[in-house]
């Protein structure tokens, strides 16, 4: 009787071990990975689906606080920013002989405002090699703000750091032309509203 019970107990233990072994192995491997990441000083490895969204919200707030109300409205409504070129001798502003379109995580596109002719693409990135959350890529609006700050502060330097290509290398020229049409329409429609807003504020 005792021998039978003992044998049954041994068989039970072996069966339970066989059943639990894969789970145990996975758990141990996971603990090992977490421990290795901790030892490397890395960030938490768990995926947080809301993190990128929250990061983008913070980035949008920062962008909004840095650019003018008009530029913010342009980015909010159209998804890109226009920056006037400052190296053409006409000064930076609506009289500039060329301008740039800044898209998030896409090359900066230079064009001639009077004709809509596309000039160049300037491929530039701001990789953070510390990869705090496993990625070197800034949130979209931070990427736009970094380009905006670098362009308005030191256009020549940024253009010098970028890889220059002819239009169409990465950004579809037809899309840019459509965006320029959208921009013109947006300016026609938003200017009266903005003037009305300025009048109300002045009053």
**Stretch binding another protein (CB under 8 A), from 8-16, 23-31, 167-175, 181-189:** 167-175
Residues 126-145 vs another protein: string with x where CB under 8 A?
Answer: xxxxxxxxxxxxxx--x--x
Q: How does strand 81-84 pair with strand 99-102?
A: antiparallel
Which of 160, 174, 80 has its CA nearest to residue 123?
Answer: 160
Residue 94 lies near another protein (rule: CB under 8 A):
no
Residue 112 lies near another protein (rule: CB under 8 A):
no
Which residue's CB is nearer to another protein, number 13 or number 66? Answer: 66
Phi, psi (rounded to 5 degrees) for 79: 90, 10
Whole-angstrom Cα distance, residue 134 to residue 63?
23
Whole-angstrom Cα distance, residue 101 to residue 86?
14
Please identify which residue in 106, 182, 186, 194 interacts with another protein, judged by CB under 8 A: 106
Phi, psi (rounded to 5 degrees) for 115: -110, -20
Residue 45 lies near another protein (rule: CB under 8 A):
no
Phi, psi (rounded to 5 degrees) for 162: -80, 160
Contact residues: another protein, CB under 8 A:
43, 51-52, 54-59, 61-62, 65-68, 71, 92-93, 103, 106-107, 123-139, 142, 145-146, 148-150, 152-154, 157-158, 161-163, 165, 168-172, 175
């Amino acid at each position: 009787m005792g021998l039978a019970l003992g044998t049954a107990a041994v068989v039970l233990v072996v069966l339970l071990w066989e059943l639990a072994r894969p789970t145990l192995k996975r758990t141990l491997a996971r603990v090992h990975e977490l421990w290795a990441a901790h030892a490397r000083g890395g960030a938490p490895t768990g995926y947080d689906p809301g993190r990128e969204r929250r990061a983008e919200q913070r980035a949008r707030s920062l962008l909004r606080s840095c650019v003018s109300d008009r530029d913010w409205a342009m980015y909010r409504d159209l998804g890109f920013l226009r920056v006037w070129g400052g190296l053409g001798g006409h000064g930076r502003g609506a009289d500039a002989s060329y301008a740039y379109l800044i898209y998030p995580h896409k090359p900066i596109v230079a064009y001639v405002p009077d004709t809509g002719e596309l000039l160049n693409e300037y491929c530039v990135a701001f990789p953070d090699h510390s990869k705090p959350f496993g990625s070197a890529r800034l949130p979209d609006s931070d990427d736009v703000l970094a380009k905006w700050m670098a362009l308005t502060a030191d256009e020549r330097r940024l253009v010098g750091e970028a890889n220059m290509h002819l239009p169409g290398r990465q950004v579809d020229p037809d899309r840019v032309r459509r965006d320029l049409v959208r921009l013109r329409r947006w300016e026609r429609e938003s200017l009266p509203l903005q003037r009305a807003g300025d009048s109300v504020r002045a009053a």
